[in-house]
A = this chain, B = another copy of it.
Amino acid sequence: MKEYTVAVVGATGAVGRMMINVLEERNFPVKELRLFASPKSKGIKIPFRGEEINVEVLEETKSFKGIDIALFSAGAQRSLEYAPKFANDGAVVIDNSSAWRMDPEVPLVVPEVNPHAISKYKTEGIIANPNCSTIQMVVALKPIHEVAKIKRIVVSTYQSVSGAGQKAIDELISQIKAWCSGEPLPPAKHLPQTIAFNCIPHIDVFLPNRYTKEEMKMVEETKKIMEDPSIRVTATTVRVPVFYGHAESVNVETEKKLSVEEVIEILRKAPG
């Protein structure tokens, strides 16, 4: 079986660490694992298959040759700057950030939904991974769209703090612990408001059209992944005081009428 040299960029972040765990859990055919992070992570070692892997500093690395697959979760800025460097050195980059998603030359892919999109595009070497809230929605909606053609989607989300990274997870923890101790809650720093015992309808920044960027990501990415710009989407994205996992309430209008039982059957058979 073919083995790959895999890089994880943003290896010390919440997502990076989970990627490393999953590579091990799922026995991905890794010949060599290389880990990259920012200068402040210099010297950190992360275990993989019983070995301690040294974290390399991204900014200090001159060449990325020899890397087959690079999994990026280091923020949009770093993806913008480094994904092309990895790709030019021969890697296929799978990017978790928003940097390349709406680029017309870059495929935006959810494996259960539009894997064929990879070959549709002029080879850039970059494949974009959609926004967390978009992914789970299109996995559920694609099989319905195939049978009954979706016209309109109204979605409201219930997004956990991990979506905003380790610092947001730590912020919820420290607020809850302060509450338990009867101390004043530390002020909100990594989320727009206090999140303990609260819900915040504000994820990412507000745009002139009064939606947030998170909401518009759901709108734009859905149309691209489903390959149908006629699907109308409106989203309200809300942060809830949960650690891991996102939930969504999705209302769907279809061209063709479907019974509840038909929808249940479609979803029961669908991947993911």
**The stretch of A19-27, A70-78, A119-127, A238-246 that contacts the partner chain:** A238-246
Neighbouring B residues of A198 by C-beta, 8 Å = 242
A251 engages B234 (CB within 8 Å): yes
Whether B210 pairs with A260 at a CB distance below 8 angstroms is: yes
Size bracket of the A interface: 20 to 34
Partner of A240, one of B176, B180, B181, B199: B199
Query: How many protomers of this protein does the assembly include?
Result: 2
Give A169-200 as 1s and 0s: 1 = Cβ < 8 Å from B's Cβ atoms.
Answer: 00000001101110000000000000001110
* A88 on interface, CB distance cutoff 8 Å: no
Contact with B along A247-270 (1 / 0, CB 8 A): 101010000000010000000000
26 A-B pairs with C-beta separation under 8 A: A154-B154, A156-B156, A156-B249, A158-B199, A158-B240, A176-B176, A176-B179, A176-B180, A177-B180, A180-B180, A180-B181, A197-B241, A197-B243, A198-B242, A199-B240, A199-B242, A199-B247, A201-B249, A210-B260, A234-B251, A236-B249, A236-B251, A240-B240, A241-B241, A241-B242, A251-B251
Report the minimum CB–CB distance from A252 to chain B (whole Å). 10
For window 67-107 of chain A, which residues contact chain B by CB distance below 8 Å? none
| A247→B201 contact, CB < 8 A | yes
State the CA gap A217–B158 with chains docked (Å). Answer: 22
